[in-house]
Amino acid sequence: MSWPSDYVTSVMSGILRIAYKLLINDRAKFAALLVGITFAVFLMVEMTSLFAGILSRSSSTVINIGASIWVMDPAVQTVANSIPLPDSVLDEVRSIPGVKYAVPLYSGGALLKLRDGTYQAANVVGLDDTSLFGRPEVIAGNIEDIFADNAFIAIRDAEFYKLKNPKIGTEFELNDHRGVIVGIGRVSSSALFGVPTLYTTYSRALQYIPNSRFTISYLLVEPKSRADVAAIKARVAAAGYLALTREEFVSKISDFYMYETGVGTNMMLMTLISFIVGLSISGQTFYTFILENIDKFGALKAIGAKGRDLVSMILFQAVFVALTGYGIGVGLCAALIWAARTRLPDYAAMITFPNLGMAIAMVVIIAGISSYVGVRKVLMIEPFDIFRG
């Protein structure tokens, strides 16, 4: 028994086996159908994966810091564009019943002057001096060294090389202050905007980077229990600020990029175009396939095949092509992302289950429309037309 065709046919009913053989033995048509579905799936999954990757990166700070609740100004749209909060908010939040602890976070941009005299933009995260809540995993050096003079921890991600691959002890200037790399860290998600990230203490961040009157970018809050979250959010709202859980903040950032920038619209447009191209190629080819075999279907009808037999044959062919093309398309997309990451480690594409679900839903629609056209044609053919030749 040769794999896979003999195995596949051995588990089918006779009528589906005929349908299968009719389909795969017509290699040119089968290949054209597969190419149509495969490229439609490939483009749809690639587009949505890129978008998912971008959305994930856009929330990287929220994911990396890992706080349960984020308190911010209600006008904040993304984590990168914080609106400073007055220190009094910290005291107010700490006084809310149900708050286990609350710490400030600084997050902002800075311009570094590297040892070779070049300038490099960087994102600086200032962690609460007392708790270092949200600290990265340190892979070289010691986290306690962050309390040393001028200390910064550089994050080894895809942008790390832009700091000229610093080592422990590497110096730089930040706003005429001396900075020293005391450790190399790692976080779970790289940032979206292509700049390296430095971690330091909250107080040093305020000391080194020019600030407005208010200085806290976000308050990171840990509730005593999940049941306290609603009450905390209500109290924060009453004070004129916004408290979001981690998931809500990620969702808010995603919504901003999806609906308030052109990124989401363009990605959706490309996905829709991929769907239309796939539907056009596959629908056209499948219809041609049915037309070329219409006399055979008529002959089957005359012999005694029932309408449901013919419908099951056509549906089986459409579904078989759709699922095969889907598998190849997803495989191609995964291979492309893998290949891209060998050259571009920070390639922002992420195949997610919702992406795969959306692609298979679109493929099912393509198969459904293609087979509907074929089914209509086959059910309308009169055996008498075949009989008289």
3-state secondary structure of 232: helix
Binding flags for other proteins, 255-294, as an x/- string (CB under 8 A): --------------------------------------x-
Task: Give the x-and-dash track for 10-49 against other proteins (CB under 8 A).
Answer: ---xxx-xx--xx--xx-----------------------
5 near other proteins, judged by CB under 8 A: no
Q: Is 381 in the site for other proteins (CB under 8 A)?
A: no
**Between 224 and 296, CB nearer to other proteins:** 296
Query: Closest distance between other proteins and the C-beta of residue 327, in Å?
Result: 23
CA angle 193, 198, 199 (to 5 degrees): 125
Q: Is the dihedral of CA 157, 159, 160, 161 positive or negative?
A: positive
Name which of 26, 28, 13 is nearest 316 in CA terms. Answer: 13
Sole binder of other proteins in the list 224, 296, 341, 376 (CB under 8 A): 296
8 is a contact residue toward other proteins (CB under 8 A) = no
Give strand ranges (E) for 211-255: 218-223, 242-245
Q: Measured between alpha carbons, how far apart are the two ends of the chain, in Å?
A: 39
Cα–Cα distance for residue pair 204/271, rounded to 1 Å:
46
Whole-number Å distance between alpha carbons of 299 and 285: 22
Contact status: 389 vs other proteins (CB under 8 A): yes
Q: By C-beta, is 290 or 300 nearer to other proteins?
A: 300
Q: Which amino acid is at 324?
A: T
114: phi then psi, degrees, rounded to nearest 5: -80, 170
Q: Does 311 bind other proteins (CB under 8 A)?
A: no
The answer to the question of residue 300 lying near other proteins (CB under 8 A) is yes
Footprint of other proteins (CB under 8 A): 9, 13-15, 17-18, 21-22, 25-26, 293, 295-296, 298-307, 309, 382-384, 386-389
